[in-house]
Structures are given as structure tokens and as C-alpha cells.
Amino acid sequence: MPVYRSIRDLDWPLLIVTLALCTLGVLQIYSATLGTRWQDAWWKQIVWVITGLAMMWVMAAIDYHSLLGPRVIYLYIASVVLLVVTGFAGNKVFGSTRWIKVAGFTLQTSEFVKIVLILLMAKSLTDLKTGPLNWKDLAKLAGLVAVPMILVMKEPDLGTALTYIPILVCGILMAGLRWKYLLIITAILVVILPIGYHFLKPYQKDRLVSFIYPDRDPKGTGFQVIQSRIAVGNGGMWGRGAKESSQTHLGFLPVPHTDFIFSSFAEEHGFVGVVIALVLYFLLIMQVVQNAQTATDKAGLYICMGIAALLLFHVLVNVGMVVGRMPITGIPLPLMSSGGSSTWSIFLMLGLVNSVRLRRFVN
């Protein structure tokens, strides 16, 4: 198998869009944290992006097929073990244990598990015979995703756990599912979801309730929903201008550089800025999908589509939350939110996409 790769062959449009979003992210982090205790987050983010780029390059160099052998099983087992270890030995931040210290870095294990799950899904689906999946396949796939998902939920980190679902769903739908199965699964979900509500933590229930009725307790859980909406609305058409946003700078926005960075962005850059940023995200996802379309085999397609689905889910849930159209879940906005684990895992995924792209002419 001739391996020919150079910088020239990378997905440049994808890379440009990615870097554009990272730039918006760094600038917004700088503006939003100026004068707060997080005010050095912007240059840390630059470090994350640069190291992320290197990781992407390394990942692109690796033939994704080589990861789909037994290695993915080892990675999967390692992930589960790590999640268990995180649960016991991790750092507690904001009341949940999501982070683990590795060589001086605080890493959020659950972010990297996404990549493993994408690979695992690709491997499992290519191992199957083509054609609609049967119940046994579905049960196996769901079980494989459920184990880490439950572990992450226990941390507790419902938001990140939920991001594993689009990986599973996208994989299944890409592999093909009978209409009958689809209907039955939908029916079961409709029955189960209300029951599942009772198993949520009280604060999670509050978030759901305050999403639907934010004004019920404007000082408590509804606070974030209302303040984010006020921030976005305050931006208006053209925005308040960088560093001029009152909601962000007077601390009314919760964590304006991580989960709510887009509120802060929307307040400072207005509707025009929002549309520009969303167009960039749209191009990013479409570019990943384009790589799925040109992939040489189904494994590549599954990987790219899994990543596209994950990105779409992140953007939908995070931006939806910012604009008050989704409940508060606390998942970051890819590439813009400040945070090493999230940034690195996205770059690793984009590395995978490039790996698929670089091998599209093989065979």
C-alpha cells in the first residue's frame, strides 16, 4: 500500500475553517476573561490549539485501518478502566469528578473516549455483513456504548455522556436499519424517556424544568437560562463590541469562556457575528461529511460520519442552550470553548478525518 502524504494533501478547506473558529475562540476567550481569574485562559487555549494541530498531523499520518484491528479493543478496555479510575481518583471540580491528572495535565477522560467510540463503531459496523442490522447487532452496539456512557453519567456528567449517543445513532443509521426496527425503537424511547427522568439527579431535573420555565426561579437554576438569553438579546444586530458587553464583564454570564462562550460572543458581535460563526461551523461539518463521501471504504465513512454527527450534536446542544432552545447540559462548543481535553479531542478527530482523506485513492 503506497503511503503518500504531505502537507499539501491535507484537507485545507477543513483546516482553514478550523483555524478560523479557533481564532474566534481565542479572541473571545481573551475578551470574556479580561480582568477575571481566568484571564490567562486565552494563551493556554493557543497552546492547546498548536499542540492540537500537531496531534492532528500525527493522527493524519496513521492509517486508520491500523486502528481498527485489535487495537481499538485495547483502547476501549483502557478507556473503561480510565473512566473507572477517574471516578475514584479524579479531581473534583464544580461537584463532579471528570478530570484526571496525567503528566501534569488535567485531562477529561470522557472527551477522549468519544474517539475510541467512533473507532469502535466503525470497526464493529465494518465487521458486520452489510444490510439492515438485526436485534442482536443493535444490542451489542448499544451495550458497547452504554458501558462508558453509564460511567460518565456517574461522574456525574450527563452532557458528555449524551454526546456518545449521536455516535451510536449515526453509526446504526449509516449501516442501515429496517423501518420496522426504527419504529419499534422510537416507540420504546417514547415510553422509556419519562421513566428515565426520574433517575436524573435533582439538579439535572431542575435544569430541564428551568429550561421549560426559566422564570419559575429566576435566581436559582433559571438564572443561567435567563442571563444567557439577556446576553444574546443585548447583542442585537451588530453586537456591543469586544470587551464592551455588560452581561459578560459584570459576571452575569456563567463561565463566559467555556460552556457559555457563544453567549458572550453573541453579546459582543451580535447577530452578524453569530451568523458568521455558525456558517463556519456549517462549513466545518459539511467538509467532514464531504470526506465521508469520498472515503475509500465504509470504515472511513463511518469514522467521518461519526465525527460529523458528534460535531453537529455539540453545536446544536451548546448553541441551542445559549439561545434558550435547549436545556442546560454543560457541554463545550467545539474549537471555541476554552479547554484542553475538548480541543485536543476535536483535533484528534480532525486528524482521523484527514487520515481517511489521505487514503481515499488507495485501492
Partner 1 sequence: MALIESEHTRAGEISPGLLHDDPKDASGKIAIFQYLTVVVFVFLVSGFWALQVQNPDVYSEAAERNRIKSTPILAPRGKILDRDGRVIVDNKASYSLLLNRDQIKPEHLPAMAEALQLDYGALADKIHRMGANPQIIIKDQLTRDDIAWVESHQDVDTYPEMQLIRAWRRQYPQDGFSAHVVGYVGEISESELDLPQFLDYRQGDIIGKDGLERQYDQTLRGVDGQERVLVDNMGHEREAETTQEALPGKDLRTTLDLDLQAVAELSMEGKRGAVVALDPRNGEVLAMVSRPTFDPNKFTGRISRDDWNEIANDPYKPLMDRAIQAEFAPGSTFKPFTALAGLETGVIDDKTEFHCAGGASFYGHYFACWRKPPGHGQISLHRGIAQSCDVYFYNVANRLGIDRLAHYAELAGFGHKTGIDLPNERESTMPSTKWKMRMFRQKWYAGETISVGVGQGAVTVSPLELAAAEGGLAVGGNWYQPHLVKTAAPKLLRAGNLNPDNVQQIISGMYGSVNEAGGTGFPGRLPNVKVCGKTGTAQLVSNKFLKGRKIDQTMKDNAWFVGYAPEEAPEIVVVALFENGEHGDRAGWIVRDVLKSYFDKKAREAKAQNRSAQFRPPPLFADPQTVTAALNVPLPKGFTR
Which CB, 129 or 198, lies closer to partner 1?
Answer: 129
CA distances from 186 to 21, 161, 190, 218, 363 (A): 35, 20, 6, 35, 39
Q: Is 92 helix (H, G, I), strand (E, B) or coil?
A: strand
Q: Which is nearer to partner 1, 13 or 176 (CB)?
A: 176
Q: Which is nearer to partner 1, 144 or 200 (CB)?
A: 144
Q: Between 289 and 352, name the residue whose CB sits nearer to partner 1.
A: 289
What's the 3-state SS for 135-178? HHHHHHHHHHHHHHHHHHHHCCCHHHHHHHHHHHHHHHHHHCCC
Rounded to the nearest whole angstrom, what is the least distance from the CB of residue 290 to partner 1 in the complex?
A: 9
100, HSE (Cβ side, Cα atoms, 13 Å): 18
Closest CA relative to residue 63, chosen from 289, 299, 341, 288: 299
Distance CA 118, CA 113 (A): 9
User: Min. distance of Cβ 309 from partner 1 in angstroms?
Assistant: 7
Report the C-alpha gap between 1 and 5 in whole angstroms: 12
Cβ proximity to partner 1, 55 vs 308, nearer residue? 308
Nearest distance, CB of residue 126 and partner 1, angstroms = 7
Shortest approach of partner 1 to residue 73 CB, angstroms? 5
Name which of 123 and 207 has its Cβ closer to partner 1.
123
Least Cβ distance, residue 181 to partner 1 (angstroms): 15
In sequence order, the 6+-apart residues with CB closer than 8 A to the CB of 176 are 130, 131, 132, 133
Q: Which is nearer to partner 1, 50 or 272 (CB)?
A: 272
R_g over Cα of the chain: 20
Measured distance CA(282)–CA(358) in Å, rounded:
22
What's the min distance (Å) between Cβ of 55 and partner 1?
A: 26
Size of the chain, expressed as the number of residues it contains: 363
80/75 Cα distance (integer angstroms): 9
**Binding residues for partner 1, per CB under 8 A?**
70, 73, 123-124, 126-131, 136-137, 140, 144, 170, 173-174, 176, 219, 227, 229-237, 246-247, 250-252, 266, 270-271, 274-275, 278, 281-282, 285-286, 289, 292-293, 295-301, 305, 308-309, 312, 315-316, 319-320, 323-325
Of 50 and 276, which CB lies nearer to partner 1 in the complex structure? 276
**Residue 166 carries which side chain, given as an amino acid letter?**
P
CB of 225 to partner 1, least distance (A): 12
Q: How far is CA 12 from the centre of its chain?
A: 22
CA gap 1, 63 in Å, rounded: 10
CB of 278 to partner 1, least distance (A): 6
